Structures are given as C-alpha cells and as structure tokens.
Amino acid sequence: MRTERDEVTAEAATVSGRRWRVLSIGLLGFSSGLPLALSGPSLQAWFTTAGMSLKAIGWITLIGQAYVLKFLWSPLLDRLPLPWLGRRRGWIVLMQLLCGAALISMSFYTPQGAASTLAFLGVLLAFASATQDIAYDAHRTDLLRPAERGWGTAAAQGGYRFGMLVSGALGLILADRFGWPWVYRLMGGLMAAGTLVTLLSPDAPDEQPARSFTEAIVQPFADFFQRYGKVALAWLALMVLYKLCDAFALSLSTTFLIRVPQFSLTQIGTISKTFGLVAGLLGALAGGWVVTRMRLFPALLWLGVAQALVNLGYIWLVHSGPDVYAMGLVVSTEYFVSGVGSTAFVVLVTALCNVRYSATQFALLSSLAVVGRVFLGPLAAWLVPQVGWSMFFVITALSAIPGLLLVIALRHAIHRVELAQAR
C-alpha cells in the first residue's frame, strides 16, 4: 500500500521532472538559436562594414537555404539514430560540434579577401545548424507532454532568442572593439560548450523508428496528407505565409540600420539587438501565457495583424537619423510582437505533427515557415532602390494579408487541431 508520504514524494518527483523537461528544452534552444545570426544578420553586418555592395549582401542572405531544404534530409534522422545518446540527442551533439568547427574556420577569412570561402563555410554552418534544429525540434515534440507544450514552447523560444542575443547583440559589440574574427572564434567555443547541455538533457520516450528508408521518406508525408486531407495544402501554405511579413521586413534590417539612420555596430548591438531580443524573449514568455488562456485561432489572427502593423514603425527610422531611443522603441516592439506570435505559431506546428514522424514533419513545416527569411533578401535588395525604404516597409506590412486571410479560412481546422492536442 502506498502511504501518503509516498504519494507526496511521487508528486514532487513528477513536478520536478516536468520542470526539468521544460528547462532543458529552453537550454537546448540557446544552442539552436546561436548559429542563426552568424550565418544571417551578423554575417550581413560583417559584409556591410567591409564595404560590400547591397547586391552582394542580398545574395549572401541565400546562405541560409539549408533552413528551407532541411526536410529533404530529415527522414535520415528519423530512420538512423546514431549509436550514442538516443534517437535525437546524438544528432544534436554531432551538429553542435560541426557548427563550432565551421565558426572557428570562418574566423580565418575576410569578405574583402575570401568572400566565396566565407560563403561556403556559411553554407556549411547553416547546414549543420538546420540539421541540429531538425533533431532539436523532434526532441522537443517527443519530450513535452500536451499540457507542457505552451510553457515548453515559450522556454524553447526564449532560449532560441537568447542565443540570437549573444551571437547578434554581443557579437556586434565585440566586433566593434576586437574585430569579427574573434567574435566567430568565441561563438565557435560556445557551440562546442553547448554539448554539455545535450549530454544532461532527459531522453524522450522513444518511438519505433521507420523500418526502411522508403517508410522513412514516404510515410511521414503520406501520414500528413492522410490525416488532414483536403486542408493539407492549406496548412502548408499557411506555414509559408504567416511569418512572411516579419521575414520580409527583417531581411535587410541590419544593413538598413547601418546605412540609413547610420547607427554604429555598438549602437545596433547595444540598443537594437539587446533591447530587441530581450523584448523578443519577453514576447516568447508572454506567448506561453497567451496560448494557455486564449484559443489558438484568435491568438494567431490578432498577433498576425500586430506583426504587420509594427513593420510600419521602421518608417520612423528612415527619417529620424541615429536616434537610439527611436530605434530601441521600434525594434523592441517588433521583436516583442514577433516573439508572442512565434510561440503561438510553434504551438500550432507542434500540434500538427505525428510523434512517430516528428523529425520529418516538423522539419517540413518549419522549413516552409522560413522560406521568406531565406529567399526574400535578393528581392528586398532589388526592391529598395526602386521604391525607397519607406515604401518598402509599407509593402512588407501588406504582405501579411494573404496569411491572415488563410488563418480565417482555416479557423475551424485550427479549432479541431487544438482540441485534438488537448486530449
């Protein structure tokens, strides 16, 4: 017979286990978020301060294509667990080490003397980072129970944005003082150190992996279309369109802040990246609160509207000059709203996945969500000289309309997915 003391002890252990699951997901989110800026905005800043052309900077944004194409090799992670640390964590550790090696290698080159070599290493970094994301997203989907997904997703978003804070804000400040090579060496060391967190992270209940590559490749996609039928294509379209306006506005944001209001790297790092990403962290936590108290459909709808409207704040910076208070307000508001919206969006993506195929299905959905972030850079670089920066930001706000209309069209399907997740 279990005594009352045994029941209290068991309950305490359950609560402790739940807290550690959520906390470990947040810590792993840091390693997931750290490399992104280093193949994106920070690399963009390095090329900008090196005097590279706007056209060249626009093409550099394509380095992140691995984030869009990662679903192509995600079945490999579902099919072949590595012979250490379980089905997910082995891949996470391997990719953390590869990210660290790529970052340290990049520190030995400059845009002026070896732009193509830097681009190649940036592609390698993006590939390793995207593969880490596949394993991490699947690990989070497998590990968190339905009741933990709101706060667990908030912790993941918070850790992810804190990683971007370190590689973005701290990276810019250190680059202004010590140069970009030392920044990339430091970040490479932090990626390698992140393996310690992976070693201590709990294992998720392991599902039986696919028995063949055919099953690993075909079944995840077949399962998705079988479960959602006629609305499956609409779900895929929503993945692309919901965060499009956010990605469009941010595609050349670092270059904009350096060349138009003419902020220094230290000002951007201290004010824009620090205050902005802290606001994003708070937004991610607020998103966890929102999705536990509001239905998913109204959360996605109103947060989508807010994401579009905050893009218009950048027009103020076109005319303000290097006003750090204006930059802090505009960027912090944008990051906060984006953080809230991202948490709600990731909760939806998680709910759409089948745990057995979580690596492949989450990779597919999340890769579609970053299409705008990766491919809009060259378009933005062409559009800005045609219409000017002010009209560019108006266009980015209007680009939210298709995604919002799709959210409205899918409102009943969103309710059904939300109810199924709660069971």
In CATH, what number is assigned to the domain containing residue 90? 1.20.1250.20
Q: What is the pLDDT of residue 60?
A: 79
Pick from 139-153, 166-180, 304-318, 405-419: least confident: 139-153
- Taking 90 as the threshold, does the pLDDT of residue 122 lie above it? yes
45 versus 216: the higher-pLDDT residue is: 45
pTM: 0.69
Helices (H), 229-275: 232-241, 244-250, 253-259, 265-267
The answer to whether residue 8 sits within a structural domain is no
Instruction: Map tokens 């899918």 to a residue.
Output: 410
The mean pLDDT of 379-394, rounded to a whole number, is: 89
Residue 149: pLDDT band by 50, 70, 90 thresholds? low
Q: What is the pLDDT of residue 127?
A: 94
Dihedral (Cα; 383, 387, 392, 397), 10-degree rounding: -110
Each residue's pLDDT tens digit, 102-112: 999 999 998 88
Each residue's pLDDT tens digit, 36-90: 889 888 888 898 888 888 777 877 778 888 887 887 887 777 777 777 777 788 8
Q: What is the pLDDT of residue 2?
A: 53
The answer to whether residue 75 sits within a structural domain is yes
The mean pLDDT of 292-299, rounded to a whole number, is: 84
Phi, psi of 103 (to 5 degrees): -65, -45
207: DSSP letter: P
Q: What is the pLDDT of residue 6?
A: 46
Residue 423: pLDDT band by 50, 70, 90 thresholds? low
The answer to whether residue 7 sits within a structural domain is no
Q: How many residues comprise the chain?
A: 423
Instruction: Map tokens 């409102």 to a residue.
Output: 411
Q: What is the pLDDT of residue 394?
A: 93
Each residue's pLDDT tens digit, 241-287: 988 888 888 778 888 888 888 888 888 888 766 677 678 778 877 88
Residue 132: pLDDT band by 50, 70, 90 thresholds? very high
The answer to whether residue 283 sits within a structural domain is yes
Q: What is the pLDDT of residue 156?
A: 82
- Taking 80 as the threshold, does the pLDDT of residue 25 lie above it? yes
Q: What is the pLDDT of residue 98?
A: 96
User: In the chain, how many domains are there?
Assistant: 1
6 versus 50: the higher-pLDDT residue is: 50
Range of the domain at 209: 17-422
The answer to whether residue 10 sits within a structural domain is no
The rounded mean pLDDT for the chain is: 82
The mean pLDDT of 312-334, rounded to a whole number, is: 89
The answer to whether residue 6 sits within a structural domain is no
Q: What is the pLDDT of residue 187?
A: 95
Q: What is the pLDDT of residue 421?
A: 63
The answer to whether residue 83 sits within a structural domain is yes
Please state whether 144 falls in left (phi above 0), alpha (psi between -120 and 50) or beta. Answer: beta
223 burial type by CB count under 10 A (0-12 exposed, 13-18 middle, 19+ buried): middle
The answer to whether residue 170 sits within a structural domain is yes
Q: What is the pLDDT of residue 392?
A: 93
